[in-house]
Each structure stands twice: as structure tokens, then as C-alpha cells.
Amino acid sequence: MRRPLVILVIVVLVLSGVVWYLSMAGGSTPLGAHIPNFGPAATPTATIEPTPTAYQRPDLQVGMAFPQYGGAAYSNADADWSTGLREIDRQTGARWVEIVVNFTQTYYDSPSVAVSSRTPTPASVREGIVQAHRLGKKVFMVPVISLLNDSPSNEKWSGDIACGTLTACNTWFANYLQAYKPYLEVAQQTGVEQVAIGTELQTLEILHEHYWDDFIASVASVYTGRLTYDMNFSTLVAHPNALPTWFGNSRLSALGVSAYFSLVTSPATVPLTQLPTLWAQDVRQPLDALGSATGKPVILSELGYRNDADALYLPYVATAYAAPDPALQAAVFDAAMQNIVADPLISGVFVWAWSFPVYAPNNLPAAKTLRAWFTSPRA
């Protein structure tokens, strides 16, 4: 998730948002940090209609990201996971669930990719996958690397990770594979339907293709299912006409995008009827260009909108500074789904994220809107 574009605006606004933020019983963090959700998921109360048995796009990946953190995350001992899975099923009808495996790196230019106290164990992930499969959910496993110390841009975003020499780059990829391999083995053994090789590694994307081709081959030697690479939307903004050649690697079944495109250029009120057109112009168009350029299906590996009145502006900023606006959050998801289900170049969408303030759709109109689309015969 890309760093805020207008740092001054964020600094000015943050003081006005502190009181509201503290009232939200937890809250989120700058995108890219992906820190834990706080507290157990709430119990749904809505009456849910039955799920249809036939879809026009049965292979469309309509899913919910549900990140959990800690050694026992996703395990049978993780009550939030088991409760949340059932809530996701009842409230959204999602066919897929995205499991995040969080790794850490000490500095942006060090090769020290490793597990930490926030990383679920392979055994815990195995148990979580089994639970999801028992509920009939397909699983998308996604690795995310968090920096322990700020990069020169004063952030802890994975997109800043870099290696400056041949030796450093080889060491980084070797350490990353070593950390990720036990989870790839679990994915293979449990029949996980899709795995990402990486998430938002924007600076590393421009390395010579042999690094990535070799790494993808190593991953594919362990996990033989569908592979994606999940870029940040800023990759498409930075060089839309000069994408890395390795994006076309034949072992990648699709390309994912953390799709936090702004729909407005400043905080503004927009008539809800305009949202489908705005979404088509500002989100669907660059995604379609990516699919056409690479010949790959495109997955929105993350699509999140805050529950606030400025949800359309800088949606990657994971703190709400405006008043809650659940109607707007639901409306922008409705606009997104109108475009997604009608677009053959888009093969999936994973909503960020269940029980993750300030994006969480739990028990809100957004959940009802998502269910209406996720269970629609049109999907």
C-alpha cells in the first residue's frame, strides 16, 4: 500500500482525527504495515438469504482478506479466526478468504527476511486453512513483509525494500525463500487454491528479471498451484508503459493489485450515482491496461475503503479523519462490483479487510452490499 502522497495534509489532519480515532476501540495503521486487528469480531444479527447454486462467473474470486497475527493466528486456538470465518460466510457470502502471513525485515536494505512473534507458525496456518476449507471457502495465501525500522522515507513499507549489490540481492531472495518455504509446503499439502509470491515489493520489482524468474521457479518447485504476484497500485502509476518483463512469467497465473486508487483529487462530496463511472475511469481502466499488456488475468488482491466521509480520497491512508459514513463505504463497493463482474479481464477481488479498522465492513451496510454481489447469479 503506497505511502501518502500529501504528507503535509496528513500531518495537519491527524490532530483533528485523534479523538475520533481513539474512540474506535483499536484502529488500523499506515497501509503496508498490516498490523493486527484488535478485539474479537462482532456477532452478526442480519437475516441472510440463501446462497445461489449457479453463477455466470463461477471462477470469479470474490473473497475477504482476514489478516491474523501472532504464533497461534489462524489455529484452532484462535477464536477470532473461527468466529470471523463464520461471520464472513453469513454476512458476505464470500467464496474465498485471504490468509496473510507476516514476515519482518530489520532494515529496508538488509537481507534479513525472517519470522517474528507476529508470524503465525506453519502448523497454525495449516489449521486455519483446514477450517476455511471445511466451510467451503477457497484460500488465497499472501506473504507480507513489514520493516522493523523506518526506511529513508520514514516508513515501514515493503515497497521500500532494496538490495544494492549482486550478493545482497541473491542473499535477500535466498532468505525470503527460506522464510516462506514452510508455508508453501503447507499450502501444497492442504490444497490451497492460490498463493502469492510477494506483496508490494515495488523497488525490488525493477531488478533484472533473472532474480524473479529464478525465485518463481523455486516457489513453483514447492507449491504447484496457482501463483500470483501482488503489486501496489503505485506500480501502475509510476511506469504503466514500462512494466517489468517478469510480470509475463508463464508460471504466474494472474497478477494481483492492491487497488487503492483515489476516485477524487481532494476530499469532496460526490453524488453516489457518479461512483460507477469514476471507478471505471480511475480503477478499471489501469487494471484493464495491465491485463492487456501482460496477457494475465488481474485480481484485486486488496480493495479497501474506509468507513468515513472521505473514503474516496487516498484510500490507502488507514486512519479516518472524517466522520463515519457507512452509506458511502457501501456505495463505493457497489460501484466497484458493478465494474468487476462485468469485466472479463478482472478475475477476482479480495476486500480489505474483515475486523480491521477502519476498513472493516463487519455489521455495516458494506457487508450487505458485498453479499448482494458475491451471491448474485451475475457474479
Please tell me the number of Cα atoms within 13 Å of 302 on its side-chain side.
35
pLDDT of 239: 84
Phi-psi group of 39: left, alpha or beta (phi > 0 → left; psi -120 to 50 → alpha; rest → beta): left
Q: Model confidence over 258-287: pLDDT tens digits?
A: 999 999 999 999 999 999 999 999 999 999
How confident is the model over 56-70, as a mean pLDDT?
97
Q: Model confidence over 292-346: pLDDT tens digits?
A: 999 999 999 999 999 999 999 999 999 999 999 999 999 999 999 999 999 999 9
Q: Model confidence over 186-203: pLDDT tens digits?
A: 999 999 999 999 999 999
Mean of the per-residue pLDDT values of the chain: 89
The number of domains in the chain is 1
Q: What is the DSSP letter of 136?
A: T
pLDDT of 54: 82
Nearest to 258 by CA among 31, 9, 93: 31
Model confidence at 347: pLDDT above 80 = yes
| Angle at alpha carbon of residue 253, lines to 247 and 255, rounded to 5° | 45
Q: 35 pLDDT band (50/70/90 cuts)?
A: very low
Q: Supply the Cα-derived Rg of the chain in whole angstroms.
A: 19
Q: 153 pLDDT band (50/70/90 cuts)?
A: confident
Domain presence at residue 142: yes
Which one is predicted more confidently, 245 or 6? 245
The percentage of residues in the chain with a pLDDT greater than 70, rounded to a whole number, is 86
Q: What is the pTM of this model?
A: 0.87
pLDDT of 51: 54
Q: Compute how many other C-beta atoms are within 10 angstroms of the C-beta atom of residue 347.
A: 22
Q: 19 pLDDT band (50/70/90 cuts)?
A: very low
Q: 52 pLDDT band (50/70/90 cuts)?
A: low
The residue assigned the cell 482478506 is 65
Three cell numbers, residue 109 = 536494505
Domain presence at residue 1: no
Model confidence at 11: pLDDT above 50 = no
Model confidence at 92: pLDDT above 50 = yes
Range of the domain at 361: 7-374
| Residues contacting 196, CB < 8 A, separation 6+ | 140, 141, 142, 143, 227, 228, 229, 230, 256, 301
Say which CATH number the domain at 97 has.
3.20.20.80
Residue 339 near residue 279, CB atoms below 8 Å: yes
How confident is the model over 114-123, as a mean pLDDT?
97
> Among the listed ranges 124-138, 187-201, 233-247, 272-286, which one has the minimum average pLDDT value?
233-247
pLDDT of 41: 41
Which one is predicted more confidently, 138 or 54? 138
Model confidence at 76: pLDDT above 50 = yes
Three cell numbers, residue 284 = 478499471
Query: What single-letter amino acid sits at 283?
Result: V
pLDDT of 53: 58
Model confidence at 42: pLDDT above 50 = no
Q: 1 pLDDT band (50/70/90 cuts)?
A: low
Domain presence at residue 309: yes
Residue 344 near residue 294, CB atoms below 8 Å: no
pLDDT of 4: 42
Domain presence at residue 2: no
Domain presence at residue 379: no
How confident is the model over 117-135, as a mean pLDDT?
98
Q: 251 pLDDT band (50/70/90 cuts)?
A: very high
pLDDT of 240: 85
Domain presence at residue 161: yes
pLDDT of 30: 32
Domain presence at residue 160: yes
